[in-house]
């Protein structure tokens, strides 16, 4: 927005003068000079008051002389009643303004055209504040958010307001995903996309994982708990591309990778999506979001995951030509667990494990299976490993994957799971309903995917209830 900088400079000068007078009076009274923090906070509070008043004055001043009749959205006619005061909660706190109010239509609905014009809902939070409340809500637990927000905004916002604004962001994301799902099931739309696909990534990765969320509905006072505590899977999906980590930025672990003839890669352009839902439903989200990154059109589509069957079933269903890779670290862990169970003697264990890890690294899965089979009589751990390596053999051709320069670790989606689920949904004091957990997670996933502004724009353009 453009405004006259000279007028602003004049206002700044006036504010400086006000503070100078106040400080000099204090010095004269012999109560000392305030330190910079006190001046800063004083100015912030003054600026907030200015903003609060200016926003209200601005809105009132935008009210033109009211027409006596206007069209009602129902097709009828609304009659001017009177000027009416309205309040909204803005980034400066509560703002009061006056605008023309219309009523008297047969449909019984009243209207204030100025509210419509600026997307204001009397009594509610403005879109500008909603964006900030949502940001706090995706980062901090709802009971901690008001404390943080008070420090930044300088006024109190309730826990419930933060919760409902954050969840609304998630609901918008959910709605956007639902529309995308409908859209990408339409044959005509899909054919049109094939003709004009836009940019197609030459090599694209998809990765899925799941993390447990504790569902424990809040119990209202005087009510019996109807539902018991329950653990549900939050499924997380990540689309991403990779780039080589520059030499100077390589970590110790990445330098070790180079010694093992692997190119250190890192993920970029990550797009996270999540839901608590059955695999079949999650598949629709997989397909729909895949269309936005042209996953099906990418000449090289690679899926990374652990051994979970639902993941590979979805990949086979929606992307039958994709290259499937079981996360290296999960595969390695199977060998480690087995070694611990099978070899009480440490040197024997180390020898076995080192040899077999190298065999696995070289993609010789059949040899790994034989070695595990040789241990099978010794217990369930070995039989479990045999099944795991047998079922995933084609997804463990690590020699070929490395030769092609593929990423073989699913760290990107696991880190997404941690950031979405562990770092937010598992904060102390968190009590979730399924809807609350899903909406908060979706809002957080949008933020982590660099899509927060899109949600804020949507929130800003919401059609308001009349």
Interface ranges with Zn ion (CB under 5 A): 72, 74, 76, 105, 107
Closest among 266, 265, 282, 207 to 238, alpha carbons compared: 207
Closest among 278, 204, 173 to 235, alpha carbons compared: 278
Closer residue to Zn ion, CB minimum distance, 68 or 249: 68
Backbone angles phi, psi at 414, to 5 degrees: -65, -40
DSSP string covering 26-73, please?
Answer: HHHTTS-PPPHHHHHHHHHHHHHHHHHHHHHHHHHHT-PPPPSEEE-T
Minimum Å gap between C-beta 78 and Zn ion is 7
Closer residue to Zn ion, CB minimum distance, 72 or 172: 72
In 91-133, beta strands by DSSP E: 93-103
Minimum Å gap between C-beta 64 and Zn ion is 21
- For the chain, count helices (H), then strands (E): 18, 8
Minimum Å gap between C-beta 69 and Zn ion is 12
Minimum Å gap between C-beta 108 and Zn ion is 8
Closer residue to Zn ion, CB minimum distance, 74 or 374: 74
Closer residue to Zn ion, CB minimum distance, 108 or 249: 108
Closer residue to Zn ion, CB minimum distance, 79 or 423: 79
Minimum Å gap between C-beta 310 and Zn ion is 50
Six-digit token pair at 438? Answer: 């899903």
Minimum Å gap between C-beta 67 and Zn ion is 16
DSSP string covering 123-147, please?
Answer: TSB-HHHHHHHHHHHHHS-TTTHHH
Six-digit token pair at 70? Answer: 């206007």
Is the Cα dihedral 302, 307, 308, 309 positive or negative? positive
Closer residue to Zn ion, CB minimum distance, 8 or 74: 74
């Amino acid at each position: 927005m453009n405004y006259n900088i000279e007028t602003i400079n004049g206002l700044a000068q006036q504010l400086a003068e006000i503070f100078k007078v106040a400080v000099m009076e204090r010095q004269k009274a012999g109560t000392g000079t305030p330190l910079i923090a006190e001046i800063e906070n004083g100015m912030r509070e003054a600026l907030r008051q200015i903003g609060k008043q200016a926003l209200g004055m601005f809105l009132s001043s935008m009210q033109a002389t009211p027409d006596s009749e206007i069209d009602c959205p129902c097709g009828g006619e609304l009659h001017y009643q009177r000027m009416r005061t309205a309040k909204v909660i803005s980034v400066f706190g509560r703002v009061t303004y006056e605008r023309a109010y219309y009523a008297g239509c047969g449909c019984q609905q009243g209207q204030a055209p100025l509210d419509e014009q600026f997307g204001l809902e009397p009594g509610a939070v403005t879109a500008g504040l909603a964006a900030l409340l949502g940001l706090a809500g995706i980062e901090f637990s709802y009971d901690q958010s008001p404390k943080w927000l008070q420090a930044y905004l300088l006024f109190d916002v309730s826990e419930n307001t933060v919760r409902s604004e954050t969840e609304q962001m998630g609901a918008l994301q959910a709605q956007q995903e639902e529309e995308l799902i409908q859209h990408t099931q339409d044959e005509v739309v899909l054919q049109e996309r094939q003709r004009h696909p836009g940019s197609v990534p030459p090599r694209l990765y998809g990765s899925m994982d799941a993390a447990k969320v504790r569902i424990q509905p809040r119990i209202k006072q005087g009510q019996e708990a109807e539902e018991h505590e329950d653990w549900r899977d939050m499924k997380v999906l990540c689309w991403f591309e990779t780039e080589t980590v520059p030499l100077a930025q390589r970590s110790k672990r990445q330098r070790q990778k180079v010694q093992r003839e692997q190119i250190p890669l890192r993920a970029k352009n990550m797009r996270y999506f999540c839901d608590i839902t059955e695999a079949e439903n999650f598949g629709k989200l997989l397909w729909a979001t895949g269309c936005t990154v042209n996953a099906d059109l990418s000449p090289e589509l690679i899926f990374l995951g652990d051994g979970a069957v639902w993941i590979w079933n979805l990949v086979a269903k929606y992307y039958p030509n994709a290259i499937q890779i079981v996360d290296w670290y999960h595969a390695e862990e199977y060998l480690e667990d087995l070694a611990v169970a099978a070899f009480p003697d440490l040197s024997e264990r180390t020898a076995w494990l080192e040899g077999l890890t190298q065999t696995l690294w070289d993609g010789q899965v059949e040899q790994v299976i034989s070695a595990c089979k040789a241990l099978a009589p010794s217990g369930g751990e070995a039989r479990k490993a045999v099944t795991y390596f047998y079922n995933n053999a084609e997804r463990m051709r690590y020699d070929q994957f490395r030769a092609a320069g593929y990423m073989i670790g699913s760290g990107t989606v696991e880190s997404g799971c941690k950031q979405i689920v562990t770092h937010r949904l598992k904060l102390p004091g968190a009590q979730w309903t399924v809807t609350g957990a899903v909406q908060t997670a979706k809002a957080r996933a949008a933020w982590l995917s660099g899509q927060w502004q899109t949600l804020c724009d949507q929130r800003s353009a919401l059609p308001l209830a009349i």
